[in-house]
């Protein structure tokens, strides 16, 4: 535990050797762990590499309050389970689409146009958000990190993450409502 705390301190300071040591120390066992959950080694490798990428990218803001090993295994478990959930949903919807022969109709084209417009509204709204709020929103929605993980990475409280997400969602809803009422 003390070794982990010292290594974390060094990583926070930008010590690449300490980061490489942690990577080598935990990589194989994390791959084995993630493969056990996902059933796929290639996906497990991607999950681990992504985790370590985010860990290094945010090394200055790390705030891991429990053991490093516990944090890594928890993060891998969460990401692996999220992958499994997405895969189940993909299979469910793929089966639904294959079961129904889908014809492209004018309403489908209209829906596509509306979707692209909505996507543009969201993109522009995100660009207007304060940096921290945008970063938190992206980490939660696009990197699938939990509030606790974001709080640890950015050295913020979970309440702050919740508040920022609430403000981001409120802003997005407001902009979307405005654009859909026009």
> How far apart, in whole angstroms, are the C-alpha atoms of residue 137 and residue 140?
5
> How far apart, in whole angstroms, are the C-alpha atoms of residue 72 and residue 127?
31
Q: What is the pLDDT of residues 36-94, one digit of tens each?
A: 888 888 888 999 999 999 888 887 887 777 778 888 888 899 988 888 888 877 776 66
- Domain ranges in the chain are 1-102, 104-182
Instruction: Please name the residues in contact with 144: beta carbons below 8 A apart, sequence gap of 6 or more.
Output: 78, 79, 82
pLDDT band at 17 (very low <50, low <70, confident <90, very high): very high
How many other CB atoms sit within 10 Å of the CB of residue 125? 19
What radius of gyration do the chain's Cα atoms show? 20
CATH number of 104-182: 1.10.10.10
CATH number of 1-102: 1.10.1740.10
Q: What is the pLDDT of residues 81-101, one digit of tens each?
A: 888 888 877 776 665 444 444
Distances (CA, A) of 26 to 9, 52, 54: 17, 10, 15
What is this structure's pTM? 0.50
């Amino acid at each position: 535990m003390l070794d982990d705390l010292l290594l974390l301190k060094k990583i926070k300071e930008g010590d690449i050797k300490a980061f490489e040591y942690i990577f080598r120390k935990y990589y194989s066992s994390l791959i084995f762990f993630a493969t056990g959950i996902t059933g796929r080694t290639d996906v497990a490798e991607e999950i681990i590499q992504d985790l370590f990428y985010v860990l290094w990218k945010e090394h200055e803001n790390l705030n891991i309050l429990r053991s490093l090993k516990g944090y890594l295994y928890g993060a891998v478990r969460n990401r692996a389970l999220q992958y499994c959930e997405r895969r189940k949903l993909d299979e469910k919807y793929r089966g639904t689409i294959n079961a129904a022969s889908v014809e492209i109709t004018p309403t489908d084209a209209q829906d596509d146009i509306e979707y692209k417009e909505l996507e543009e509204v969201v993109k522009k709204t995100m660009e207007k958000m304060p940096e921290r709020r945008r970063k938190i929103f992206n980490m939660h929605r696009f990197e699938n990190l939990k509030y606790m993980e974001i709080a640890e990475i950015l050295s913020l409280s979970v309440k702050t993450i919740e508040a920022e997400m609430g403000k981001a969602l409120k802003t997005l809803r407001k902009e979307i409502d405005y654009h859909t009422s026009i």
